[in-house]
Structure 1
Amino acid sequence: MSATGGARRWLGLGALALGLTLTGCRTTGTAAKPGAPQAKQVVEFDPVTVTADLELDRLNDEELFAGGTSAFAANDFKQAARYFGRLVDFHPDSPHRRQALYNAGLAHQRLKEWDDAYGRFSELAEPAKGQGDALEASFRVAETLYHLERYDEATQMLSTLVARDDLPAGRRIEAQVQQGICQVESGKTDDAEATLRKALTAYDALPDKAEVEDYFPAQAHFFVGEIYRLHYEAVKLEASRGSDGLAKDLNYKAELLLSAQGHYLRSIRVGNGYWATAAGAQIGALYENLYEHMVNSPTPPELNAEEAGVYRQELRKKIRVLLTKSINIYERTLEAAERIGSQSAFVDRTRQSLEKVKRLLLADADGESAPEPEGAAAPHS
């Protein structure tokens, strides 16, 4: 059928629907007597919904599938979703329908249209027993649920995948790592740490590590580091606790920083470029953050002016060490990213942070070299 013929057919159907509606319309009001003024009449129409895509209406399922495949290959995901979606919705008996359903979900996913992607993938997904596209769709459903912030639902689907003995070790570990990440996002950090450590234990036990993409163990180590970073951020430095309490909190905060750093370093050692860069950026950011906490922490109230001066001098020494560590880690992270050609938001953030910390270190050196006025009080942030 030609494009003109398709348009004519759609218009004909619309006119028929409108004619049927007019035939069955309702009027309100009473009949007027001859010669009397006409009473006002209200005409109410039943709602009519017409759905059509004039361009695609003339295409059969083979043509739609070919058009969607071509658009997807050209990275025109909007067109791909349109073609595949038309096939799925209007050709239920097509042999291409399942593949079109999956591809439509992928196209929506590339467009970050998570609700639409979820709708397509969920029709295919079979997390308990599915194979092939039904299995792949199950992983995709969990991913879309993650982006929709429906973390508990994603966790449940992934736990079903983890429990399957028939899956290869790599897919089970992949599901378990993703499950742990969803638990982190939902605030269940204890459950998340247990889940991620189980995934890493399963990975370490594999005689052939090539069974698993290095992306997933690196990601698992990274998110265990994230858990300790969250614990680190939860510790507040309060001057009201006095010098002993403040020292205790600062030491505990430093211990949590080192724990987070340890897991980020393990992520780097796995050798995946993306997560190595991300982990390096987070380590540098931790030192930068601790610097900000220390430089902005108030002096313990029980110290007199002389003691406060000594306190600030000692604090400045520690701050300089933190800034130097942060610079070193940022530079090594950028060197690694350049070697492997990694480009990500973490790389951009690392460059910005490196310049910021260098300025802070220069400012600290300038502040130390400048003579203080005689009798000046200890400096405060």
Structure 2
Amino acid sequence: MLFLVVSLTGCAARTTRPGPQLQDAPTKTSDGLTLDVIRIRAGEDPLTGLKGYDADDLFRLGFDAFEAEEFELSGLLYSRLLEEFPAHPNALPALFNLSMAMERQGALLLAVEQLENYIDLVAEGRPQDAAECRVRLAAWLQRLERHDASREPLQLALAEASLEKPERWEAQILSTMLLGHDGDFERASVRLHSIARDIRNTTRKLGERFPYQSAMLWYHAGALYRLRASSISLDSVDDLDVLRANLDEKARSLLEARQHFKRCLKHLVAEWSGPSALALGGVYEDFRRDLLAAPVPTQMDAEHAVVYRELLSDRTLRFLEKAVADYREVLRSANRFQLQLVWVRAVDSALQRCEKELDMLRLASAESAPALNAPGAEAKEPMPGSSD
């Protein structure tokens, strides 16, 4: 696969594949005369700004638009190239680049469709290229929560002998997450540690750094612990001692997830900084949601159950406050973390949601404060706590 030097992750220190990149146009040969089709417009074309253009013009303009982070324009230009010049040598790399432009717009379903089309075209003649793209396809499918659909492309990619170690690590990380979704957390954790060791050993041996794969690994380590926390049910627990134990285990898993997300952010790799930034505050939202959804233990009478619920809602406000603080911090540091626009918007949306809920809960808490301060308005059992 021909890649340009320009890195979409912005990680200049990386000496291996710097994450997803656009493909360059094929190199033209001089043996023989070819006449490219030129489209002539009556007046200036609003999309290209040209009175006449060919496939090379559309490819160049699409690439320039992508570099300028005008992803919608880039996608339109590549789409026109594929529509008007389907047999041109630029059409194949344009199809790959179109999938990248769609992904950066946040149109992940369309990106998956275009990348699948590209893989079908290169699978027979360019197996390494196809394997690398299958790894990317699997990552996108997992972002869409289509984990089962990611199994086949991962199996095909890992079976390809020409898939090199950096991309092979990526495929192994994604395959490990499938173990987590199957509930095999211990085995998944062992595999991630094994991949981390291999990355460290390869770095020492070759003197090269792999920040993209390292960031990817720590993001998925965080996602694995977050998944593990979600598997710890509070709904079926009717014993306060067991409830406390489950809460402690859930809290430990979520806090472990936060540490891994923070570690990912330190690598400053754009593709993984975004989901890690969103997950950082999401961990607190997870914990608060699970606490509020858990049923009141039947050991409490009706009066104390009401007070328990009110106190729980009041005290879990701090989880929302911590989520808000996290979201604000990553937005302030968006440039340093190299957050892509699609992730900046996602984090900002999460921040606004939490701030709105926080305002409503504070108002409700203030209105109910006299009742909570009345004599006898105390729960018999202490609240299960958690720590950050």
TM-score category (smaller protein):
0.5 to 0.7
1:197 pairs, out of 175, 193, 198, with 193
Judge conservation of contact 1:72–1:80 (CA < 8 Å) in 2.
Answer: yes
Secondary structure of the equivalent of 1:299? coil
1:245 aligns with 2:242: yes
> Aligned in 2, Cα 1:106/1:341: closer, same or farther, shift over 3 Å?
closer
Give the deviation of 1:225 after TM superposition.
1.3
Give the deviation of 1:293 after TM superposition.
2.6
Give the aligned partner of residue 139 of structure 1: 132
Task: Please tell me the root mean square deviation across aligned C-alpha atoms, in Å.
Answer: 4.0
Judge conservation of contact 2:269–2:337 (CA < 8 Å) in 1.
Answer: no
Q: What stretches of structure 2 of length at least 5 have no aligned partner?
A: 1-32, 39-52, 62-73, 103-109, 380-388
Give the Cα–Cα distance (whole angstroms) in 2 for the partners of residues 279 and 157 of structure 1. 28
Q: How does 1:222-371 map to 2 (within 5 A)?
A: 222-238=219-235, 241-304=238-301, 308=305, 311=308, 315=312, 318-337=315-334, 339-340=336-337, 342=339, 343-345=341-343, 346-356=346-356, 358-359=358-359, 362-363=362-363, 365-367=365-367, 369-371=369-371
> Aligned in 2, Cα 1:135/1:200: closer, same or farther, shift over 3 Å?
same
Give the aligned partner of residue 98 of structure 2: 107
1:215 aligns with 2:188: no
Give the aligned partner of residue 158 of structure 1: 157
> Aligned in 2, Cα 1:146/1:172: closer, same or farther, shift over 3 Å?
closer
CA deviation digits over 1:181-225, x for unaligned, max 9?
Answer: 566678876665454433322222213898455233212211121
> Aligned in 2, Cα 1:261/1:364: closer, same or farther, shift over 3 Å?
farther
Give the Cα–Cα distance (whole angstroms) in 1 for the partners of residues 368 and 200 of structure 2. 49
Secondary structure of the equivalent of 1:85? coil
Judge conservation of contact 1:121–1:137 (CA < 8 Å) in 2.
Answer: yes
Secondary structure of the equivalent of 2:261? helix
Secondary structure of the equivalent of 1:267? helix
Give the aligned partner of residue 24 of structure 1: none
Secondary structure of the equivalent of 1:285? helix
Judge conservation of contact 1:122–1:138 (CA < 8 Å) in 2.
Answer: no
Give the deviation of 1:108 after TM superposition.
5.4
Give the Cα–Cα distance (whole angstroms) in 2 for the partners of residues 322 and 218 of structure 1. 26
Give the Cα–Cα distance (whole angstroms) in 2 for the partners of residues 338 and 105 of structure 1. 27
> Aligned in 2, Cα 1:186/1:116: closer, same or farther, shift over 3 Å?
farther
Give the deviation of 1:141 after TM superposition.
3.7
Give the aligned partner of residue 176 of structure 1: 172
2:349 partner letter: R
2:58 partner letter: A
Give the deviation of 1:318 after TM superposition.
4.4
Give the Cα–Cα distance (whole angstroms) in 2 for the partners of residues 373 and 178 of structure 1. 51
CA deviation digits over 1:313-345, x for unaligned, max 9?
Answer: 764574244233323322222222155563223
Q: How does 1:72-87 map to 2 (within 5 A)?
A: 72-74=59-61, 75=74, 76-83=77-84, 85-87=86-88
1:347 partner letter: V
Judge conservation of contact 1:218–1:268 (CA < 8 Å) in 2.
Answer: yes
322-331 vs 336-345, greater mean Cα deviation: 336-345
Give the aligned partner of residue 43 of structure 2: none
Give the deviation of 1:263 after TM superposition.
1.7
Secondary structure of the equivalent of 1:344? helix
242-251 vs 185-194, greater mean Cα deviation: 185-194
Give the Cα–Cα distance (whole angstroms) in 1 for the partners of residues 244 and 302 of structure 2. 19
> Aligned in 2, Cα 1:77/1:195: closer, same or farther, shift over 3 Å?
farther
Question: What's the TM-score once normalised by structure 1's chain length?
Answer: 0.63
Give the Cα–Cα distance (whole angstroms) in 1 for the partners of residues 82 and 153 of structure 2. 24
114-123 vs 248-257, greater mean Cα deviation: 114-123
Give the aligned partner of residue 70 of structure 1: 57
Give the deviation of 1:287 after TM superposition.
1.2
Question: What's the TM-score once normalised by structure 2's chain length?
Answer: 0.62
Identity of aligned residues (%): 21
Give the deviation of 1:102 after TM superposition.
4.0
> Aligned in 2, Cα 1:357/1:210: closer, same or farther, shift over 3 Å?
farther
> Aligned in 2, Cα 1:179/1:200: closer, same or farther, shift over 3 Å?
same
> Aligned in 2, Cα 1:273/1:364: closer, same or farther, shift over 3 Å?
farther
145-154 vs 293-302, greater mean Cα deviation: 145-154
Instruction: State the structure with more CA Rg.
Output: 1
Give the deviation of 1:109 after TM superposition.
5.8
> Aligned in 2, Cα 1:140/1:341: closer, same or farther, shift over 3 Å?
closer
Q: How does 1:46-57 map to 2 (within 5 A)?
A: none
Structure with the larger helix share:
1
Aligned length: 302
CA deviation digits over 1:162-196, x for unaligned, max 9?
Answer: x65x83x5344344345445666788766654544
Q: Per chain length, whose mean CA-contact separation is higher, i.e. which structure has more relative contact order (CA < 8 Å, sep 6+)?
A: 2
Secondary structure of the equivalent of 2:363? helix
